[in-house]
Amino acid sequence: MSKRFLVFQHTSWEGPGKHLIKSALKNTIRLDIIKLWKQLIPSLASYDGLLVLGGTLNINQEDQYPFLKEEKQAIKEWIAADRPYLGICLGHQLLAEALGAKIDDNYCASIGFIDGYLTHKGKSHPLFNKIPPRLPLFKWHSQAVMEPVPRNLSILATSAECQIEAISIKERPHIVGVQFDNNAADLNEVKKFLQKSSTWLASFTGKYINPGTIIAEAAKHERAIEKQYDTIFSNFICLS
């Protein structure tokens, strides 16, 4: 019997991502996508998992994006019910905030491809089963989860540009968040990120961003990330 996952989408052009969609189809997962800026959140009762995507907004912009208030309440209710949750980028930050962590400007804008590293706890976490301790990450954010994190959270991955790349609730491995956007690290989607985020990228005067380099890195890592993401998402399905 196939499972149904509810998906919260925040931005019109930033959907689940090619790698996530491909893995969902392979595993006969139905994705019910809710475009939060124009659709109401349905009853959560019939879903097997909740996926919360990234987006161009920040978690403290409830005045500009009123749907954030309802979304945050839905996330808290879902977590309180101890049900499988995967947060990606903004969805990772929303999970952390719901659990009492602080979200603020990261010490640098993390954009493009970098190496990530599983922590000791990450190496033994079922989400990263069969994933090497060093892995390529596709990054697209300027805010992050701040340390120290609440005691009920485990840090599963880190990098030189972001101390907290992945989290999980201790003894609740089915509730996880990842700061990276490997779900959308397909070459064509990376090009779309560059196009749609051009104004945002230009705002980082202290950081040189070379689109050509990012595109070349996307092509270089595409197959490895696709394979690894299928493993990660399949691992999450097993937890749901």
Q: Could you read off the pLDDT of 122-163 as tens digits, one per residue?
A: 999 999 999 999 999 999 999 999 999 999 999 999 999 999
- Give the pLDDT score at 206: 76
Percent of the chain with pLDDT over 90: 97
pLDDT digits (tens, 9 = 90+) for 7-18: 999 999 999 999
What are 30-81's pLDDT values in tens digits?
A: 999 999 999 999 999 999 999 999 999 999 999 999 999 999 999 999 999 9
75-101 per-position pLDDT tens digit: 999 999 999 999 999 999 999 999 999
170's enclosing H/E stretch is none
Beta carbons of 145 and 153 less than 8 angstroms apart: no
Tell me the three state secondary structure of residue 117: strand
Q: Could you give the C-alpha distances from 193 to 19, 162, 201, in angstroms and in order? A: 15, 20, 10
Domain ranges of the chain: 3-239
Residue 1, pLDDT score: 66
pLDDT tens-digit readout, 201-216 = 999 887 789 999 999 9
User: What architecture is the 3-239 domain classified under in CATH?
Assistant: 3-Layer(aba) Sandwich (3.40)
In whole angstroms, give the CA distance from residue 40 to residue 34.
Answer: 8
Per-residue b or e along 45-73, where b marks 16 or more CB atoms closer than 10 Å to that residue's CB:
eebbbbbbbbbbbbbeeeeebebbeebee
Is residue 194 within 8 Å of 111, Cβ to Cβ? no
- pLDDT for 117 equals 98
